[in-house]
Amino acid sequence: MDLELIKSLAVPNTTKIILLSADGLGGFPHPDTGRSELETARIPRLDALARRASCGLIRHVAPGITPGSGPGHLGLFGYEPLHYPVGRGVLEALGIDFELRAGDVAARGNFCTVDGAGRITDRRAGRIPTERCVELVDRLRQIRLAGVELFVEPVKEHRFVLVLRGARLGGRLSETDPQATGQPPLPVRALSPEAEPAAELVNQFVAQAAGLLADAAPANMILLRGFDQLPALPRFPEVFRLRAAAIAAYPMYRGLARLVGMDVLKTGATFVDEVATLAAHWDAYDFVFLHYKDTDKAGEDGDFAGKVAALERLDAALPVIEAQRPDVLVVTGDHATPAVLKGHSWHPVPVLLAGAYAAPDGVDRFSERACAAGSLGVLPAHHLMPIVMASALRLTKYGA
Amino acid sequence: MDLELIKSLAVPNTTKIILLSADGLGGFPHPDTGRSELETARIPRLDALARRASCGLIRHVAPGITPGSGPGHLGLFGYEPLHYPVGRGVLEALGIDFELRAGDVAARGNFCTVDGAGRITDRRAGRIPTERCVELVDRLRQIRLAGVELFVEPVKEHRFVLVLRGARLGGRLSETDPQATGQPPLPVRALSPEAEPAAELVNQFVAQAAGLLADAAPANMILLRGFDQLPALPRFPEVFRLRAAAIAAYPMYRGLARLVGMDVLKTGATFVDEVATLAAHWDAYDFVFLHYKDTDKAGEDGDFAGKVAALERLDAALPVIEAQRPDVLVVTGDHATPAVLKGHSWHPVPVLLAGAYAAPDGVDRFSERACAAGSLGVLPAHHLMPIVMASALRLTKYGA
């Protein structure tokens, strides 16, 4: 499905849409009970919503592929994730709220440990504490290179972000991480002619960093990978003709929304804050992307009961969301994060689409198993937005 | 799915197929009862057929996209509608049974109103009555242009069709309709170098029309759009190796069948006539496309009870169709036309495929909800014909 087609069929209307993404929503049966997190949780409001909605399962990237948060959300926003790749450096920068500009080259950095011969002995420098990372990043900020502005930003433990800002930098660079110990870091190579100047600059940066970190063992060297520039994505508000806002307590999701041109609304640290922000700004927008993080966090921690509790908190927040009376309300997630897997997974994720023109389909619970019988079937993520748009009577007919 | 692949696998057989397209078949629950038109209608024969058939839902163009009748039927005939676009001018000509030839350039015309300065004040000329349209079309028929034959045909109210016939005319032309009032009609531009001569001729036609209509307010000017030529579609009888006939009381559907190379059988104005035509010609064909219009008409009118009645009349006609003993009988539609929406919609449409090698799947009613649980799943329309062909044992194995 071509976004150009959607753009050509999108028509204005007064209808309003909420897309609620519960991060890592999908789960997996607990071995003791045979019931997933959704099947275990007491979520009467979500179940009731499912009963009056069209339901199905969302597949985010491709069958068997486990999505990262970037591709997971791009799919929900209507962008076929395999057609719109976003580099890891860019995602890492978005994840710390760094305001990347077009043309910036971003990379993920690791502090690492090298021996006297310069060979890597620990690719993560013993996972130094974040405070140490902050100190060492300060050292790297002394580096100056001709013709380019440098940003070095701490992330967490051994991780940092490097951004080069300057005229006509190419972002297609090889990484310095050999992905193995016992070898020295690799020099950066340009993967396209336009990236030659950037490759030269990054190699100078690495050389200076080695000098500045010589006495900082175990964090006495750096590795850089995932070089990329902001992708040129079609702008969501123009493709769909929607005044669109994002509400997310976590920077990564704000960054992804900014990437596609949504307004990012200032909000607090909790979902209750987010829902209050929704209520405060609802009049000004046609489409709000609302992000709920707790489901994913508990899943990543392998905390089955914690994820069940997170789902129950989400259920409790539903009345305030429904009180905005959206014409279309979608509840789904960007990927599954089953507690039994302690991480993202490839399993399709339940979705419900409630609205006056989305017919109930007999699904009576909001769960992986129940939604598998829904009328939306197993839906590639980027097919969701066209159905949402249609349900909001915002797409005209194709052909006579 | 590639038609070349299908063609390479198609094998002769003596099996026979009926594709019954109930126009606008799919519906939507009535707000008072929660039941759709299909769920409300008493259709015991269709339900019985569904019980011994493989069932599913057809999605015609793409998720969320509402199909016009052209793309809707091309999909059912096995043509991926987005790969085989058919211009609006061509569809309009087909809709009035105009026998377009290869190379003809067809456009939709509107009579419109312009003010003294030539600016459009009403894009539809107050929807003049059809009789007035016929008179004004007669005036336009006086226009003569060098090297080209012209056809001007009335349609309905303010609408007409313009066809240019001549050697080497290109059809890629911009439209004269600015899609807004307060502006003058636009000159036609060639969108490809081959279309330069046609652009020149159309602009001459418009200039002469302006003169001939000067005293005919409110219909004192014309707008032209949807310029196109007959697309070069692979021929249905050759792709599928089927002697194929179409039976349709309405010209648009005869035109679409002719477009893909089916024989169009002469028939009467009612579905009873159509079914009699089927019985009369059944021996001579392997495949018959049978079109039922009443479901769509009632849906377009927002007449829920009328659509229910149309479904019950269809059900009553089923025995005569089944009496032909087709090896494969398919019942579906080209798009949904829910009475509550008074027009086409994006909702997937029920399909049943009955035949000796299509297994029953537990679906016990012919309705949107029941078919959602069928074994065909949610099927892109152009995937239906290969399954129909296979079920008629007319496709050989792919690979050894």
Sign of CA dihedral A373, A379, A384, A389: negative
* CA A286/CA A263 separation, integer angstroms: 12
| Residues 6+ positions from B192 with CB-CB distance below 8 Å | B170, B172
* CA A151/CA A140 separation, integer angstroms: 9
Report phi then psi at A35, rounded to 5.
Answer: -115, 140
Contact map slice: B 198-237 vs A, CB within 8 A = 226
* CA A89/CA A357 separation, integer angstroms: 41
- Residue B55 is predicted with a pLDDT of 98
CA distance B281 to chain A (A): 30
- Residue B88 is predicted with a pLDDT of 87
Residues in chain B, total: 400
Interface contact flag, B368 A375, Cβ < 8 Å? yes
CA distance B88 to chain A (A): 6
Interface contact flag, A398 B373, Cβ < 8 Å? no
Whether the Cβ atoms of residue B344 and residue B336 lie closer than 8 Å to each other: yes
Nearest by CB to residue B377, choosing from A377, A397, A400, is: A377
Give one word for B264, left, alpha or beta, with left for phi > 0 and alpha for psi -120 to 50: beta
- Residue A88 is predicted with a pLDDT of 87
- Residue A119 is predicted with a pLDDT of 96
What residue type is assigned to position B272 of the chain? Answer: V
Instruction: Report H helices in chain B.
Output: 3-9, 37-40, 44-51, 69-76, 88-95, 130-140, 196-212, 236-240, 251-259, 271-281, 294-300, 304-322, 368-371, 384-391
Q: Strands B159-165, B263-264: parallel, antiparallel or unpaired by DSSP?
A: unpaired
Which residues in chain A are closer than 8 Å to B226, comparing Cβ atoms? Answer: 400
Considering only CA atoms, which of B96, B90, B93, B211 is closest in space to residue B142? B211
Interface contact flag, A395 B91, Cβ < 8 Å? no
Whether the Cβ atoms of residue B213 and residue B158 lie closer than 8 Å to each other: no
Which residues in chain B are closer than 8 Å to A360, comparing Cβ atoms? Answer: 29, 34
CA distance A19 to chain B (A): 16
What is the interface pTM, i.e. ipTM, of the complex? 0.87
Find, in chain B, the residue whose alpha carbon is nearest to that of A56.
Answer: B372
- Residue A363 is predicted with a pLDDT of 95
First to last CA, chain B: 20
* CA B93/CA B188 separation, integer angstroms: 20
Whether the Cβ atoms of residue B28 and residue B338 lie closer than 8 Å to each other: yes
Considering only CA atoms, which of B239, B255, B254 is closest in space to residue B89? B255
Nearest by CB to residue B86, choosing from A5, A357, A399, is: A399
Whether the Cβ atoms of residue B376 and residue B312 lie closer than 8 Å to each other: no
- Residue B168 is predicted with a pLDDT of 85
CA distance B159 to chain A (A): 14
A357 touches chain B (CB under 8 A): yes
As a three-state string, the secondary structure of A145-162 is ECCEEEEEEECCCCEEEE
A361 touches chain B (CB under 8 A): yes
Considering only CA atoms, which of A27, A150, A159 is closest in space to residue A88? A159
Residue owning tokens 């090297």: B147
Nearest by CB to residue B368, choosing from A1, A359, A389, is: A359
Considering only CA atoms, which of A112, A140, A110 is closest in space to residue A125? A112
Which residues in chain A are closer than 8 Å to B23, comparing Cβ atoms? Answer: none
Nearest by CB to residue A395, choosing from B36, B65, B68, is: B65
CB atoms near residue A279 (< 10 Å): 12
- Residue B2 is predicted with a pLDDT of 86
The SS3 of residue A85 is coil
- Residue B145 is predicted with a pLDDT of 95
Whether the Cβ atoms of residue B219 and residue B112 lie closer than 8 Å to each other: yes
| Residues 6+ positions from A317 with CB-CB distance below 8 Å | A271, A272, A275
- Residue B1 is predicted with a pLDDT of 54
B85 touches chain A (CB under 8 A): yes
Containing H/E element for A113? strand A105-114
Containing H/E element for A70? helix A69-76
Interface contact flag, B36 A359, Cβ < 8 Å? yes
Q: Please tell me the number of Cα atoms within 13 Å of A16 on its side-chain side.
A: 15
Q: pLDDT tens digits for B39-76?
A: 999 999 999 999 999 999 999 999 999 999 999 999 99
Q: Going from the N-terminus, what domains does chain A have, and what CATH number goes with each?
A: 3-86+232-391 (3.40.720.10), 91-228 (no CATH)
The SS3 of residue B18 is strand
- Residue A1 is predicted with a pLDDT of 54
| Residues 6+ positions from A14 with CB-CB distance below 8 Å | none
Considering only CA atoms, which of A93, A19, A143 is closest in space to residue A256? A93
Contact map slice: A 7-46 vs B, CB within 8 A = 9
* CA B181/CA B117 separation, integer angstroms: 13
Q: Please tell me the number of Cα atoms within 13 Å of B213 on its side-chain side.
A: 30
Per-residue burial over B284-307, b if 16 or more Cβ lie within 10 Å, else e, is ebbbbbbbbbbbbbbbbeebbebb
B345 touches chain A (CB under 8 A): yes
Interface contact flag, A397 B67, Cβ < 8 Å? yes
Per DSSP, A34 falls in state S
Per DSSP, B345 falls in state B
A385 touches chain B (CB under 8 A): yes
Per DSSP, B148 falls in state B
* CA B226/CA B92 separation, integer angstroms: 9
Name the average pLDDT for chain B.
95
Considering only CA atoms, which of A174, A206, A177, A204 is closest in space to residue A192? A174
Whether the Cβ atoms of residue A172 and residue A191 lie closer than 8 Å to each other: yes
B400, exposed or middle or buried, with CB in 10 Å at 0-12, 13-18, 19+?
exposed
CA distances from A154 to A165, A262, A358, B64 (A): 17, 26, 46, 43
Interface contact flag, A383 B63, Cβ < 8 Å? yes
Report phi then psi at A190, rounded to 5.
Answer: -75, 130
A398 touches chain B (CB under 8 A): yes
Whether the Cβ atoms of residue A20 and residue A290 lie closer than 8 Å to each other: yes
Find, in chain A, the residue whose alpha carbon is nearest to that of B87.
Answer: A399
Q: The tokens of A70 are what?
A: 């970037």
A235, exposed or middle or buried, with CB in 10 Å at 0-12, 13-18, 19+?
middle
Q: pLDDT tens digits for B226-256?
A: 999 999 899 999 999 999 999 999 988 999 9
Interface contact flag, A390 B341, Cβ < 8 Å? no
A178, exposed or middle or buried, with CB in 10 Å at 0-12, 13-18, 19+?
middle
Interface contact flag, B372 A361, Cβ < 8 Å? yes
- Residue A294 is predicted with a pLDDT of 97
Which residues in chain A are closer than 8 Å to B347, comparing Cβ atoms? Answer: 359
- Please report, in tens digits, the pLDDT of each residue of chain B (400 residues total): 589 999 999 999 999 999 999 999 999 999 999 999 999 999 999 999 999 999 999 999 999 999 999 999 999 999 999 999 998 899 889 889 898 999 999 999 999 999 999 999 999 999 999 999 999 999 999 999 999 999 999 998 999 999 999 988 998 999 999 988 999 999 999 999 999 999 999 999 999 999 999 999 999 999 999 999 999 899 999 999 999 999 999 988 999 999 999 999 999 999 999 999 999 999 999 999 999 999 999 999 999 999 999 999 999 999 999 999 999 999 999 999 999 999 999 999 999 999 999 999 999 999 999 999 899 999 999 999 999 999 999 999 999 7
Q: Strands B159-165, B149-154: parallel, antiparallel or unpaired by DSSP?
A: antiparallel
The SS3 of residue B336 is strand
- Residue A387 is predicted with a pLDDT of 98
- Residue B161 is predicted with a pLDDT of 96
Residues of chain A with pLDDT under 70: 1
Per DSSP, B330 falls in state E
| Residues 6+ positions from A135 with CB-CB distance below 8 Å | none
Nearest by CB to residue B62, choosing from A1, A391, A397, is: A1
Q: pLDDT tens digits for B164-186?
A: 999 889 989 999 999 889 999 99
CB atoms near residue B136 (< 10 Å): 23
Which residues in chain B are closer than 8 Å to A397, comparing Cβ atoms? Answer: 66-68, 343-344
Whether the Cβ atoms of residue A262 and residue A289 lie closer than 8 Å to each other: yes
Give one word for A125, left, alpha or beta, with left for phi > 0 and alpha for psi -120 to 50: left
Q: The tokens of B72 are what?
A: 């809707």
B346 touches chain A (CB under 8 A): yes
